Every structure is written in structure tokens, then in C-alpha cells.
Amino acid sequence: MGLIGLAAIAGGGWVLYRGFRGDAGARHGSVLSAADRAHWSHRHGFWTDAEIALGALALLGLVWLVWQWRDRRPHVQGFDAAARAVLAGQAGRLPGTASATVRTAGSRRRPRAVLELELTEDADPAEVLAALWRGPLAEARAQAHRPEMPTVVRFTGAHPIRGTRIKAQSAYR
């Protein structure tokens, strides 16, 4: 899509360049016949409407092009790739966890951290969550200067936790 937009802008620029130089119709004559030019020259409203429509189309094309360049990934001050790697390393070293992955989700204004922890067979999810909230997550939120950053923690492991919700989340905010 970006290449199509770039090609459209390049083509439009070329046509404008040729038109301003005055040689746009030098080889093939005018686009409109003399009768058509006489017919449309008396209808001033048509040309005004055509110019407004083309201007709106050009503006929409420019907005679309800028939207393509916009970075949609959430960036939180202090919560970049290095901070995610440190948080994953600290969370992976907690007792009862085998591994951890961290990513950010949401928008720039309302980001959230998503942690996926693989638990060992003897792990208690409530204890792991409490240790995570007191340790690595508290440090990460302090470094990012975002004490209220929402965090989603997903547990996986050898023994799946079916239908059990851990209520410790609200106590450790």
C-alpha cells in the first residue's frame, strides 16, 4: 500500500511539473476539444467543484501517507526493549517460574505490559504473582515512571490452572 501511495504521489508530481512547464499537451493536443472547452467554460460551478474534490482527494492521500509512516507500537518512557528484557530476566528467575516473556500492548497513551510466565510443576501461582508484584514489576513501573501501568500476567506450565482466578492481583497494585 505504501508503494502504491508513493507511485501516485510521484505520478501526480510529474503531471504537475509538466503542466507548469506548459508542455503537458504539446504532443497530443488538448485533452478537451474546442466544443467541450466552450461548453464547460460557461459552467463555473463545475470547475470549482472539481477543484474542491481534487483538493480533498489530495488531502486524504496526504493523511493516508502520513498514517502509513506512523509508528503504532506503544512506546513508554523507560519501558523499551532493554527494560522488557530485564523484566523478563528478573521474572524468569523468580522461584516457581521456568521462563518469562514480556511485551507491551495497548496505545501510546494507555500502554500495558503483558507477561507470560511458564510455571514449574511445584509452583503456587498466587505466590509467584505476589513475588512478581513486589519485585520485578515494582522496579519496572518505577523505572518507567508509570505507577499505574496495567499489567496482564498469563500463567502456563506443566499443570494448567483451569477456571481458577487468582484474586491476589488487586492486593498488589
Looking at the structure, do residues 59 and 91 belong to the same domain, yes or no? Answer: no
In a domain, 76, yes or no: no
pLDDT for res 171: 38
Looking at the structure, do residues 61 and 86 belong to the same domain, yes or no? Answer: no
In a domain, 92, yes or no: yes
Task: Report how far apart, in Å, the C-alpha atoms of 153 and of each of 42, 112, 147 are.
Answer: 69, 11, 17
Looking at the structure, do residues 97 and 49 belong to the same domain, yes or no? Answer: no
Which of 30-34, 47-51, 111-115, 128-132 comes out lowest in average pLDDT? 30-34
Task: Between 154 and 30, name the one with better pLDDT.
Answer: 154
DSSP states of 78-140 = T-SHHHHHHHHHHHHTSTTEEEEEEEEEE-SSSEEEEEEEEEPTT--HHHHHHHHHHTHHHHH
Looking at the structure, do residues 137 and 57 belong to the same domain, yes or no? Answer: no
Q: Which of 69, 104, 126 is the last residue of a domain?
A: 69
Q: What is the pTM of this model?
A: 0.50
pLDDT for res 87: 86
Number of domains present in the structure of the chain: 2
Q: Which residues of 10-28 are buried (b: 16+ CB within 10 A; e: fewer)?
A: eeeeeeeeeeeeeeeeeee
Give 67-108 pLDDT, tens digit per residue: 877 766 555 555 677 778 888 889 889 998 999 998 888 776
Task: Find the helix packing angle between 136-144 and 125-134, rounded to 10°.
Answer: 30
Structural domain boundaries, residue 144: 81-172
pLDDT for res 173: 44
**What's 160's domain CATH number?**
3.30.70.1350
Give 22-46 pLDDT, tens digit per residue: 655 555 666 667 787 777 777 667 7
